[in-house]
Amino acid sequence: MTSIRLSAAEQKYIIESAECDFRSDGRTCEDYRQIEIETRNLPNTNGSSRCKIGKTEVLVGVKAEVVDVDIHAPTQGRLNISVDCSATASPEFAGRGSETIEQEILSVLNLLYSSIDALNLEDLCIVKGESCWLLNIDVLYIQCGGNLFDAASIALKAALHSTTMPNVSVSGEGIEMELEISDDPYHVWKLKTSMCPICITLYQIGESFAADVSEEEEECSTGYVHVGVLSSGEVSAMEKSGAGNMEPDALLEMIEAAVRIGEHIHQQLDKNLQAECTTATL
């Protein structure tokens, strides 16, 4: 979300384009730019992915470690997401300049995965009440070109899909319990990502709304809505941000649009991830 200064004339052009449903690059308000996705690109991780939407490029790495279970949830594993906007993405992100946007992205990702159904956390439990897997998820932005939230959520789902978890054998009981983590790269299990949500962010521009906005369009927007959509088309989360009012009817339209877009992206994403899996095993 780097700040771009626009002239009144440029803003008028962008707002009127959005209202005509023909944006400055020819897309309609619901069209996404082509999404490039690649998984298993970081060798030191359990799972990783790279997602590129237009100019925005984000890397996600998933690393698993065995930790003590949280006493409030003794039968579940844990997720620890952290977001980093690299200074190479924008000079504004040097030093502490990126803190605000990182917090915002982090809160949206945490919102999406706060539900126990998103990623079955019970699968991550090793010994009930004792040990579980902690997934350390790092999201790194290399380039920013608008639509940071959606890119992160898509990359996150892809990274979790590609994650391979080692098997753990438990021996002994009580204090003498020992966990042996298998080194065998073929004796692994995969996480179930069918319920992982994708965030579709819709920005209100003038009298209408648009998805996958560029930085210039973001500058002309008044408020935006994050909608977490599952592959089944259900809405799992919603958050309205930014300064600007929204009509309740407009909000309902935005949610319906987000569901349409989200279902389509899930379908295409799952197809690509499956194709990558089959080429990897060949």
Partner 1 sequence: MDLVRAPYKRTRVLATQGEEMEQHIVTPGDVITQNLDFMKSHGTALNQENICATVAGAVYKVDKLVSVKGVNNRYRGEIGDVLVGRVTEVQQKKWKVDCGSRLDSQLQLTSVYLPGNVLRRKTLNDELMMREYFTEGDLVVAEVADVSNIDGMLKLHMRSNKYGKLPEGVLIKVPSVLIKRSKLHFHRLPCNATVILGNNGYVWVGPHFSPDQPIEPLTMTSRETIARLCNVIRALAAYGVQLFDTIILTAYDISMKYKVKELLNAEVMEHVAQESYEHSLHQNL
Residues of the shown chain interacting with partner 1 in the complex, contacts defined by CB under 8 A: 5-10, 12-13, 16-17, 20, 22-28, 31-38, 50, 52, 54, 154, 264-265, 268-269, 271-272, 275-276
User: Between residues 154 and 165, which has the closer beta carbon with respect to partner 1?
Assistant: 154
Shortest distance (Å) from residue 265 CB to partner 1: 7
Largest separation between any pair of C-alpha atoms in the chain: 73
User: Between residues 78 and 260, which has the closer beta carbon with respect to partner 1?
Assistant: 260
User: Between residues 69 and 156, which has the closer beta carbon with respect to partner 1?
Assistant: 156
User: Between residues 196 and 269, which has the closer beta carbon with respect to partner 1?
Assistant: 269
In whole angstroms, give the CA distance from residue 218 to residue 197.
23
Cβ distance 213 to 221 under 8 Å? yes
Shortest distance (Å) from residue 69 CB to partner 1: 36
In DSSP terms, 190 is beta-bridged to 164
User: Between residues 32 and 141, which has the closer beta carbon with respect to partner 1?
Assistant: 32
Joined together, the tokens standing for residue 24 give: 């400055």
In whole angstroms, give the CA distance from residue 43 to residue 45.
6
Cα-only R_g, the chain? 20
Shortest distance (Å) from residue 70 CB to partner 1: 35
In whole angstroms, give the CA distance from residue 119 to residue 173.
29
β 56-68/168-171 pair status: unpaired
What letter represents residue 88's amino acid? T
User: Between residues 52 and 226, which has the closer beta carbon with respect to partner 1?
Assistant: 52
**If DSSP codes are grouped into helix, strand and coil, which group holds residue 275?**
helix
Shortest distance (Å) from residue 181 CB to partner 1: 32
Q: What's phi and psi for 3, nearest 5 deg?
A: -85, 125
Q: What's phi and psi for 104, nearest 5 deg?
A: -65, -45
In whole angstroms, give the CA distance from residue 164 to residue 190.
5
User: Between residues 26 and 172, which has the closer beta carbon with respect to partner 1?
Assistant: 26
Shortest distance (Å) from residue 37 CB to partner 1: 6
Three-class SS of 57-125: EEEEEEEEEEEECCCCCCCCCEEEEEEEECCCCCHHHCCCCCHHHHHHHHHHHHHHCCCCCCCCHHHHE
Shortest distance (Å) from residue 26 CB to partner 1: 3
Shortest distance (Å) from residue 116 CB to partner 1: 27
